[in-house]
Amino acid sequence: MRLSFISPLLIFFVFSAPMLFARDALAQADSAYRAFNYPLAIALYESVKDDCATAEVFIKLADAYFYGGYELPKAKQEEMYLKAKASLEAALKREPENPDIYARLGQVTGQLALFRGNKEKVKLGLEIKGYADKALALDSKNAMAHAVLGIWHYELAGLGFIERTFAKLLFGDVPEGSYEQAAEHLAKAVAESPNVIFYRNAYAKALLKLGRIEEAKRHLEIALKLPMLVAGDRQNKRESRALLADL
C-alpha cells in the first residue's frame, strides 16, 4: 500500500531531530563544564556549534578551552588559548556589541602574551587594554573587564627600567600603569563578582603593593572560604594560602 501523504508527525521529527539532539548535547556540555570535565565539554560544544551557532555557544566553548588549557602542562596551553580566542572571535561576529566577549578576549590575550617574546608581548598588552576599554564602554560594571584592566595596570607598574626602555624603543611610548589604578579596578571586579577567587587574589596582591596588609589578608581569607567555580581555583586557593603564609 502506497502512502499518498507524509505524516505531519514524521515531518516534525525530521526537522526537529537535529535541534533536539543539539539541545540535549548542549545540556550535557553545560553539565560537564560545571563538573570541570573540560575535554568532554569541549567535544560536546564542538558537536553542536554548527547547529546552534549562537554567540552563547561560542562563548561557552571558549571558556571550556580557556579553563581546560589552564589545567594542562604549559607546553599544551597555548594551543588551547588560541582555540579559545578563535571561538570568541566567532562569537563577536554574531554579537559585536557584547561586552562579555571583549572582556574574555582581553583575558585570553593576556594568557597568550605569556608565550610571546618581548616585542609581541608589548603589542599584545596594548591589545588587551583595548579589549577591556571596549567592554567597559559597553558595560561599566563588567567584572572581568575591570579585572583584566586591573591586572594590566599591575603588570605595567611592575615593569623595570630596562623593560620599559625596551618597550619605548619599539613603540615610542609605553602607557603608564600604577598599583593604585590596579587596586581601583580590581576592587570593582570583586564588588561585581565577589565569589571569584582569582579576583580576590589579584586584588590582594595590589593591596600588598600599596602596604594595605590587613585588607589584603581579609580578601585572601575570604578567597579560601569560597567555593570553586572552575578547576583552576585549586591553584588559586594554593596561591591564597601562599600569600597568607608570607604575611
Report for 25-34, 82-91, 108-117: range of highest mean pLDDT: 82-91
Span 104-113, average pLDDT: 95
pLDDT of residue 158: 74
pLDDT mean across residues, the chain: 87
pLDDT of residue 1: 38
Q: Is the dihedral of CA 24, 25, 26, 30 positive or negative?
A: positive
Q: Is the dihedral of CA 64, 66, 69, 71 positive or negative?
A: negative
- What is the distance between the alpha carbons of residues 133 and 164, in angstroms, rounded to a whole number? 22
Q: Provide long-range contacts, Cβ within 8 A and 24+ apart, for 47-50.
A: 48/22
Residue 139 has what DSSP assignment?
A: -
Report for 15-19, 51-55, 141-145, 170-174: range of highest mean pLDDT: 141-145
Lowest mean pLDDT segment, chosen from 20-29, 36-45, 84-93, 236-245:
20-29
* 4 Rama class: left (phi>0) / alpha (psi -120 to 50) / beta: alpha
pLDDT of residue 25: 86
pTM, two decimals, is 0.86
